[in-house]
């Protein structure tokens, strides 16, 4: 949508209000599950093999720790600036979103809450989480809850189905999506700091991100 001037009009013509979407004529499939996309376009799978759940949870909590470090560096007087000029999203909301992804996952995994389109985009209440320090503290709480959930999870195969807006999915699929989703935003926070001339205290390495199906571009 950001890079395709006619994308919004084609999306609305299909009657779809959410992205990503892959379409052929008037048929379409949501792009959240790449295996569904591969089948839709006539391929025999994507060839991608998700990391085991135990590796994903370790990578995810590591990513969240890195994000906390980065967010603490963001000057309070810039936290309401836009992340990028052509999208109306404040840095504060992006920072909160990195950890809200984890909170949303837990609500679905433990309470059966439907992972709706905007589930991970619920913003903080007005007047809350207004500094990097406060948001990083929230991130620490979410990380701790994820670690406790994993420690107490009886079936760590994560094959059990959970409800999402793109249909029932194995918990493993949502876990992978949530992990790379937080990682992508952590990468963006690095770019935000660099824009302000601040050397990031914590850069996620290629090894730390290995095995995650991250978007090729930093801002999609």
Taken in order of first residue, the domains within the chain and their CATH numbers are 7-40 (no CATH), 53-209 (1.20.120.450)
Enumerate residues 6+ apart whose C-beta is below 8 A from 59: 51, 179, 183, 208, 209, 211, 212
Task: Indicate if the alpha-carbon torsion angle 216, 32, 49, 187 is positive or negative.
Answer: positive
pLDDT tens figures, 109-133? 999 999 998 999 999 999 999 999 9
| Contact predicate 28/22, CB 8 Å | yes
pLDDT tens figures, 136-153? 999 999 999 999 999 999
pLDDT of 201 reads: 95
Q: Which residues of the chain have pLDDT under 50?
A: 1, 38, 40-41
pLDDT of 41 reads: 46
pLDDT of 28 reads: 52
Chain centroid, CA 45 distance in Å: 23
pLDDT of 219 reads: 87
pLDDT of 25 reads: 59
What is the pLDDT of the chain when averaged over all its residues?
A: 87
Helical spans, DSSP H, in 74-121: 91-111
CA geometry: angle at 52 spanning 216 and 189, to 5°? 35
Answer whether the bond into residue 20 is a cis peptide, omega within 30°: yes
pLDDT tens figures, 18-38? 556 555 556 555 555 555 554
């Amino acid at each position: 949508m950001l890079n395709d001037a006619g994308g919004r009009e084609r999306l609305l013509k299909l009657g779809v209000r959410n992205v990503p979407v892959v379409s052929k004529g008037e048929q379409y499939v949501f792009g959240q599950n790449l295996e569904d996309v591969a089948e839709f376009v006539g391929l025999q799978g994507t060839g991608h093999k998700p990391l085991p759940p135990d590796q994903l949870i370790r990578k995810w909590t590591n990513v969240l720790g890195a994000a906390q470090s980065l967010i603490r560096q963001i000057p309070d007087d810039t936290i309401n600036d836009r992340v990028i000029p052509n999208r109306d999203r404040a840095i504060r909301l992006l920072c909160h979103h990195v950890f809200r992804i984890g909170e949303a996952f837990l609500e679905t995994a433990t309470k059966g809450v439907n992972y709706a389109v905007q589930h991970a985009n619920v913003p903080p209440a007005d007047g809350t989480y207004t500094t990097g320090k406060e948001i990083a503290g929230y991130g620490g709480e979410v990380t701790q809850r994820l670690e406790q959930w994993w420690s107490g999870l009886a079936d760590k195969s994560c094959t059990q189905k959970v409800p999402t807006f793109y249909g029932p999915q194995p918990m493993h699929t949502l876990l992978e999506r949530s992990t790379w989703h937080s990682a992508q935003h952590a990468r963006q926070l690095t770019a935000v700091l660099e824009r302000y001339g601040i050397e990031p205290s914590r850069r996620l390495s290629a090894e730390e991100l290995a095995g995650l199906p991250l978007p090729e571009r930093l801002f999609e």
